[in-house]
Structure 1
């Protein structure tokens, strides 16, 4: 692991913020690293308000989208709410359909089948709309690249409103409205909304016509917070406000479907990390293993008993997903070992039998293992489909863009993407991708990096310090959990390997110059026991959290890595 200490902010700015907020040096440093320089900016950060949200009509085409929906309601048109099968897509569909049903009785939902339709708007979906007399489709978390399909629908008398957040191609679809803050001609102040966030802005705009504000729409924010966490978008700006209030809803009065999921795990207070690892995988499992419709049904069900039934079904899908993911990951690792291609700068594997629903998870696991830009392919109909995952600070979307002569279609983000190609192009693409990454990647990015916010001593970690630190949440990209480094530590002799298989490390650290001592826990760090044994000095990087044991709550170090004191 590379340890990188973030640059220190200018000392004058640190002192000025310390004085303005009456906080210590480290807290002021953390705020400045997040771009917060003034009292008012700190107030906005620590006390998010729904009134901080931007006017939805600042988004390009929002007026057109609202007008077209109002026309559909007035003319009693059938409206089809269409979305992707992942968490962002299914939460978007649940949000939009449940809101529109409060205004209009002719609202229905459609999630494409991952296996015979693939990602995004499909001709099958358009034919479904035609056969069932839908004249308006609201597409969420997809559609920004569907130029030909939107044109095809228009010729059939079907209008589209697109709510997307992915990068557009050169041409924008000729839809009734295209909402996407990443459009070059869109001046909306915040560019990093997820698909469900864009959907919420449309709901906010529609509600404003009835004199309602964002405060009147908080019941939908549990869906938005779930999508923000699952889609790994930055948690700053509007996303921070939406996630903050969405978590509040999840922890106090969630919809029946989310409550049913939480009942399965007996979790009380959820963080955004809990949403990512508890709620999101279960919602995702429906689209991965069965059909995304199951997730929408769960998320829109109002009757608690029925929600419990649907949640139990989805939990079964998630258990199947885990087992399938484990088997394919093992097979992929074996394939890499047999290919003896560890000297490559990319990881690209393929097996026609692999389950399309889990190749994204497998790609993430391979990236964790080899820390290379990674693609996992499987057969999808008569083509190959892949999920791509990247390492920190390398834009895999751009790399795919520069290999597009071998690709049929692709889309996604900087760190995650999906693509399809003809089977005969696989080997040529694999080499082109390796060549492109070799030309463009900084070799340092191929070693995992821990970014350290600040050096501290153990005596600095007080209950008051942690109380302020907790207010930095919710955490995520652009506002990651603060990571600290402490040097010249010594284990008091209580260090040991713990867990059923002794793979975890537990220690009690102290600094010779201080009487302070703290317990640290390092998951999967049992192999580093020798570093701390026999009173040898060491240094550690960690985050801080609370440990509850038999009713007692204490602060502890959640270790990220440890090294000998003298190592670089």
Structure 2
């Protein structure tokens, strides 16, 4: 699919020269820093050299004192505590770290994960009934609960207290819980607002440890779980999240908990995991438990005490992940065929597809794949528990939540954010929703948003890429939202020798620019560009810079994201 090449605007041009001088770096690197809100030597020091001491005092978070006090009271009175969390990666890692921390010195403890299919997202009546029937008087809810007004009220009627540790946007009214930890509360002064659910759980155990003179290493040992949650939940990797991910990756790569070590073994004992690797290799396996069977299996894996126990759970989850892939592949193929066979669907500005026997656990993944293929707001629907349930995904820059909000009279329930949402409706409303959603999106989406974008961070001459440049560039990691892997544009490069098509549809070649050294390039999925680069004419490339390791030999490689004829040519292709 053709992509729009968009060059990022330089936000703070006056700060570039100052950073060049104070840091002794090139203007390209200085511009990359300023566009990441790094404007001084001190900012750069915090960015390049994150320290755990840079983490904020957890007691700056509204209600943290109340939460810690209530837990201390529960421990003193030998109350039973239930750790409750959502069924996705963020929720299960949050439950695992909080449960594991308190398990070290308290045994009247259990955890609860709602069933994706019978209970749905968030606090459930079934979960509260479980707590009541088993004598739990305190529930710590992680990665959910901020909007559970009625459920918390129900728990209160049964003399069960709630501590809510959530990171989602609250409504104006809050549940009547003992404590509500959420930096996005309007009355919360906590300096960093973008923690993951497990990040909030981490701040809770950090505060408890601080209040009870527990050594910091008893808290920091769970940073590998926090890193997995931050990467998988796609929260911004800036500020406090950058510190947590930086040290979490160190822990993950050097001494992971036995559950994560078992997942690493399943992935082929790869080393040097990045945040992106956590997203694509670790997160899906943890998620598979809740999608196919029950997410408590993921928690059992993550709280395992022995390698043997972890291996047993990881093998179960690997089977579930294989099932998830099979469902994902079959449903995606069926959805693509449904669209290809319908001229009306092909020419819409939205994609809404429905089949009653699609597996609910993977429709979100399928929605993402269809969005990637057709690049338009997408909803995938299936039948579940007598209702039609759906997962929705958007394109960059378009507010999906607002569009769905304008269809809300057709829903029984919906929620989410700008780029992803979930919904349910009566089956008789499906047709009306397809028409209404298309009408709303078609009326207000700018046409350019229906073409995927390559955001180019800097124009770069290949001769500027040397060892020092690459060493500094690597220190921009860990990469993620708001600290994306830099994309560069080099103009008028030439093919050196021949280009090859490798694998299924990948392009491999060497390029030069003027008198620069030759650079190895790989373009995944860009085999269609073979004829263009082989014409013997200059072309422009958009790429990231990475390290290629082959048989212990390390070299700089350009990962090509887009190719087009040089600007002065009359031809232009991507």
User: Common fold, TM-score beyond 0.5?
Assistant: yes
User: Which residue of 307, 310, 313 corresponds with 1:307?
Assistant: 310
User: Which residue of 26, 29, 52 corresponds with 1:27?
Assistant: 29
CA distance in structure 1 between the partners assigned to 2:151 and 2:428 by the alignment: 26
The unaligned stretches of length 5 or more in structure 2 are none
1:445 aligns with 2:426: no
Q: Which residue is 1:84 aligned to?
A: 86
2:462–2:516: 8 Å Cα contact kept in structure 1? Answer: no
CA distance in structure 2 between the partners assigned to 1:534 and 1:389 by the alignment: 39
The unaligned stretches of length 5 or more in structure 1 are none
1:493–1:535: 8 Å Cα contact kept in structure 2? Answer: no
Q: Which residue is 2:358 aligned to?
A: 354
Q: Which residue is 2:39 aligned to?
A: 37
1:527 aligns with 2:528: yes
- Decide whether aligned partners of structure 1 residues 436 and 188 sit closer, same or farther in structure 2, where only a CA change above 3 A counts: farther
2:12–2:34: 8 Å Cα contact kept in structure 1? Answer: no
Shift of 1:345: 1.8
User: Which residue of 284, 287, 306 corresponds with 1:284?
Assistant: 287
Q: Which residue is 2:178 aligned to?
A: 176
Corresponding residue SS for 1:93: helix
Shift of 1:496: 1.5
CA distance in structure 2 between the partners assigned to 1:406 and 1:16 by the alignment: 56
CA distance in structure 1 between the partners assigned to 2:216 and 2:354 by the alignment: 46
CA distance in structure 2 between the partners assigned to 1:58 and 1:550 by the alignment: 49
TM-score, with normalisation over the residues of structure 2? 0.96
Corresponding residue SS for 2:138: strand
CA distance in structure 1 between the partners assigned to 2:431 and 2:176 by the alignment: 36
Deviates most, 486-495 or 37-46: 486-495
1:136 aligns with 2:134: no
CA distance in structure 2 between the partners assigned to 1:21 and 1:402 by the alignment: 50
CA distance in structure 2 between the partners assigned to 1:10 and 1:246 by the alignment: 31
For residues 220-259 of structure 1, what are the structure 2 equivalents within 5 Å?
A: 220-259=222-261
Shift of 1:339: 3.2
CA distance in structure 2 between the partners assigned to 1:510 and 1:437 by the alignment: 44
Q: Which residue is 1:161 aligned to?
A: 163
Corresponding residue SS for 2:82: strand
1:492–1:535: 8 Å Cα contact kept in structure 2? Answer: no
CA distance in structure 2 between the partners assigned to 1:429 and 1:63 by the alignment: 46
1:411–1:418: 8 Å Cα contact kept in structure 2? Answer: yes
Shift of 1:168: 1.7
CA distance in structure 2 between the partners assigned to 1:30 and 1:351 by the alignment: 46
1:473 aligns with 2:477: yes
User: Which residue of 377, 388, 402 corresponds with 1:373?
Assistant: 377
Q: Residues 278-313 of structure 1: CA distance to partner in whole angstroms, max 9, x if unpaired?
A: 111110111111110100000000101111111111
CA distance in structure 1 between the partners assigned to 2:188 and 2:434 by the alignment: 35
Q: Which residue is 2:334 aligned to?
A: 331
CA distance in structure 1 between the partners assigned to 2:100 and 2:12 by the alignment: 49
Measured on the aligned residues, the alpha-carbon RMSD in Å equals 1.4
Q: Residues 314-360 of structure 1: CA distance to partner in whole angstroms, max 9, x if unpaired?
A: 11111111111000001111122233212222211111101111111
CA distance in structure 1 between the partners assigned to 2:273 and 2:317 by the alignment: 20
- Decide whether aligned partners of structure 1 residues 452 and 466 sit closer, same or farther in structure 2, where only a CA change above 3 A counts: same
Q: Residues 407-462 of structure 1: CA distance to partner in whole angstroms, max 9, x if unpaired?
A: 22222232222222222222233333223323432221111000011111111111
Q: Residues 18-39 of structure 1: CA distance to partner in whole angstroms, max 9, x if unpaired?
A: 0011111111011001010000
1:356–1:378: 8 Å Cα contact kept in structure 2? Answer: yes
Q: Residues 151-172 of structure 1: CA distance to partner in whole angstroms, max 9, x if unpaired?
A: 1111111111111111223321
Corresponding residue SS for 1:162: strand
Corresponding residue SS for 1:561: strand
- Decide whether aligned partners of structure 1 residues 421 and 185 sit closer, same or farther in structure 2, where only a CA change above 3 A counts: farther
- Decide whether aligned partners of structure 1 residues 376 and 214 sit closer, same or farther in structure 2, where only a CA change above 3 A counts: farther
Corresponding residue SS for 1:535: coil
CA distance in structure 1 between the partners assigned to 2:493 and 2:29 by the alignment: 22
CA distance in structure 2 between the partners assigned to 1:105 and 1:322 by the alignment: 38
1:554 aligns with 2:555: yes
Corresponding residue SS for 1:167: coil
CA distance in structure 1 between the partners assigned to 2:165 and 2:468 by the alignment: 43
Q: Which residue is 1:482 aligned to?
A: 486
CA distance in structure 2 between the partners assigned to 1:356 and 1:62 by the alignment: 37
1:50–1:214: 8 Å Cα contact kept in structure 2? Answer: no
User: Which residue of 393, 397, 401 corresponds with 1:397?
Assistant: 401
Q: Which residue is 1:320 aligned to?
A: 323
CA distance in structure 2 between the partners assigned to 1:515 and 1:240 by the alignment: 35
Q: Which residue is 1:53 aligned to?
A: 55
Q: Which residue is 1:492 aligned to?
A: 496
CA distance in structure 2 between the partners assigned to 1:10 and 1:475 by the alignment: 21
TM-score, with normalisation over the residues of structure 1? 0.97
Shift of 1:118: 1.0
CA distance in structure 1 between the partners assigned to 2:214 and 2:47 by the alignment: 25
Shift of 1:51: 1.1
CA distance in structure 1 between the partners assigned to 2:502 and 2:26 by the alignment: 35
Q: Which residue is 1:208 aligned to?
A: 210
Shift of 1:187: 2.1
1:69 aligns with 2:87: no
CA distance in structure 1 between the partners assigned to 2:335 and 2:216 by the alignment: 46
- Decide whether aligned partners of structure 1 residues 515 and 482 sit closer, same or farther in structure 2, where only a CA change above 3 A counts: closer
Q: Residues 223-277 of structure 1: CA distance to partner in whole angstroms, max 9, x if unpaired?
A: 1100011111100011101101100100111000000111122201100111111
1:422 aligns with 2:426: yes
Q: Which residue is 1:388 aligned to?
A: 392
Corresponding residue SS for 1:534: coil
- Decide whether aligned partners of structure 1 residues 405 and 185 sit closer, same or farther in structure 2, where only a CA change above 3 A counts: farther
